[in-house]
């Protein structure tokens, strides 16, 4: 799936306001105990972007943080490396539910539906547990989730079309209220490299799960998080507009206890 979609990912997410996401994250992390610990040691904090895709968000954060971009798709990461080939970003190809780092980090973020792509409670809990395990004391897990308000209340099929300079994408989405899942069928047409007006078609299926606040809270608590807050898109500094519409942003803090930490090596 990602081998095809990686070529169109930036086109499909052109309207995401990464700058607003960056301001929201920086504001939250700077208030965290983990950030203050790094500042007291005179060290640069570390941020991990789980489900980084082509690295658009983590690329903005590399001046303020040592950064890690983690994604299960090598194709996505190849594009990320080519676009963001400078700065202090370590790229890791791993499943976010099975991530295994060399040390702890100040903050873990996951945006643009990445958590909605985790379709079972088992995988969701695994991601939360891994995040809690690899956060510094007082570190933050910040993520967004789509809500049911994103979908038509009558269950009708959603249809989208994007006609861009060198590619066109058609996709439909059908939400099943009983299962809480949406299935997207995506057909993309990309002009071939010889530029003779011939287009190549690719077809993909993507599924998302709508998680309730209650389920997310329960699983976050099981993973070890004690301080959990959630913010509706557009409120209290969370991104609004198209980026935050019909989304909830979670900010989860790991308990700040005395103890040692293991510095993550973010060098290439």
What pLDDT, in 10s, does the model give residues 142-161?
999 999 999 988 888 989 88
Inside any domain, residue 263: no
Domains held by the chain: number: 2
Cβ 130 vs Cβ 143: under 8 Å: no
Residues 181, 98: one domain?
Answer: no
Q: Compute and round to an integer the Cα radius of gyration of the chain.
A: 19
Inside any domain, residue 224: yes
Residue 233 CB contacts under 8 Å (≥ 6 apart), including other chains: 144, 239, 240, 243, 244, 245, 246, 247, 248, 249
Distance CA 125, CA 164 (A): 38
Inside any domain, residue 258: no
- Output the domain CATH number for residue 169: 2.20.25.110
In this structure, how many other beta carbons lie within 10 angstroms of the beta carbon of residue 82? 10
Inside any domain, residue 105: yes
| Residue range 159-171: mean pLDDT, rounded | 80
Cβ 24 vs Cβ 245: under 8 Å: no
pLDDT of residue 5: 59
Biggest distance spanned by C-alpha atoms of the chain: 64
Distance CA 130, CA 124 (A): 10
Distance CA 209, CA 65 (A): 31
- Output the domain CATH number for residue 22: 3.40.50.150
Residues 48, 63: one domain?
Answer: yes
What is the DSSP annotation of 212-225? PHHHHHHHHHHHT-
Residues 61, 83: one domain?
Answer: yes
Residues 49, 143: one domain?
Answer: yes
pLDDT of residue 263: 43
Q: Domain boundary residue among 176, 193, 208? A: 208
pLDDT of residue 47: 97
Give the rounded percent of residues in the chain with a pLDDT score beyond 90.
63
Give 187-209 pLDDT, tens digit per residue: 888 877 776 778 888 888 989 99
**Is it the case that residue 266 has pLDDT exceeding 50?**
no
Residues 63, 180: one domain?
Answer: no
Closest of 12, 9, 164 to residue 77, by C-alpha: 9
Inside any domain, residue 215: yes
Distance CA 18, CA 3 (A): 23
Residues 105, 232: one domain?
Answer: yes
Distance CA 107, CA 34 (A): 8
Inside any domain, residue 176: yes
Q: Which of 2-6, 55-59, 137-141, 248-252 is predicted least confidently? A: 2-6
**Is it the case that residue 141 has pLDDT exceeding 80?**
yes
Inside any domain, residue 112: yes
Inside any domain, residue 265: no
Query: Domain range for residue 120?
Result: 2-148+210-253
Burial status of residue 209 (CB atoms within 10 A of its CB: 0-12, 13-18, 19 or more):
buried
Residues 156, 62: one domain?
Answer: no
Residues 143, 228: one domain?
Answer: yes
Angle between helices 213-223 and 121-134 (to 10 degrees): 50
Give 5-59 pLDDT, tens digit per residue: 555 565 566 678 999 999 999 999 999 999 999 999 999 999 999 999 888 999 9
CA within 13 Å, CB half, 234: 8
Q: Higher pLDDT residue, 236 or 15?
A: 236
**Is it the case that residue 262 has pLDDT exceeding 50?**
no
Q: How confident is the model at residue 3 (pLDDT cuts 50, 70, 90)?
A: low
Residues 196, 88: one domain?
Answer: no
Residues 29, 96: one domain?
Answer: yes
Give 85-105 pLDDT, tens digit per residue: 766 799 999 999 999 999 999
Full-model pTM = 0.90
Residues 94, 224: one domain?
Answer: yes
Residues 127, 72: one domain?
Answer: yes
């Amino acid at each position: 799936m990602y081998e095809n979609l990686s070529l169109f990912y930036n086109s499909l997410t052109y309207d995401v306001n990464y700058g607003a996401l960056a301001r929201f994250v920086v504001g939250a992390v700077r208030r965290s105990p983990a950030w203050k610990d790094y500042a007291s040691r005179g060290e640069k904090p570390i941020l991990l972007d789980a489900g980084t895709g082509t690295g658009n968000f983590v690329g903005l954060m590399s001046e303020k943080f040592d950064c890690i971009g983690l994604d299960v798709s090598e194709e996505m990461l190849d594009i990320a490396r080519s676009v963001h080939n400078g700065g202090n970003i370590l790229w890791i190809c791993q499943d976010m539910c099975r991530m295994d780092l060399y040390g702890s980090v100040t903050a873990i973020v996951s945006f643009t539906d990445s958590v909605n792509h985790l379709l079972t409670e088992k995988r969701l809990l695994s991601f939360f547990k891994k995040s809690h395990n690899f956060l510094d004391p007082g570190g933050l897990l910040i993520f967004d989730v789509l809500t049911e308000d994103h979908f038509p209340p009558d269950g009708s099929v959603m249809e989208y079309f994007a006609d861009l300079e060198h590619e066109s994408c058609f996709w439909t989405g059908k939400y099943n209220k009983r299962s809480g899942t949406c299935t997207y069928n995506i057909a993309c047409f990309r002009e071939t490299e010889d530029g003779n007006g011939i287009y190549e078609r690719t077809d993909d299926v993507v599924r998302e799960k709508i998680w309730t606040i209650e389920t997310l809270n329960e699983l976050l608590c099981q993973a070890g998080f004690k301080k959990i807050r959630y913010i509706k898109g557009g409120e209290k500094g969370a991104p609004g507009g198209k980026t935050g519409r019909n989304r909830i942003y979670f900010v989860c803090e790991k308990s700040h206890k005395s103890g040692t930490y293991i510095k993550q090596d973010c060098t290439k």
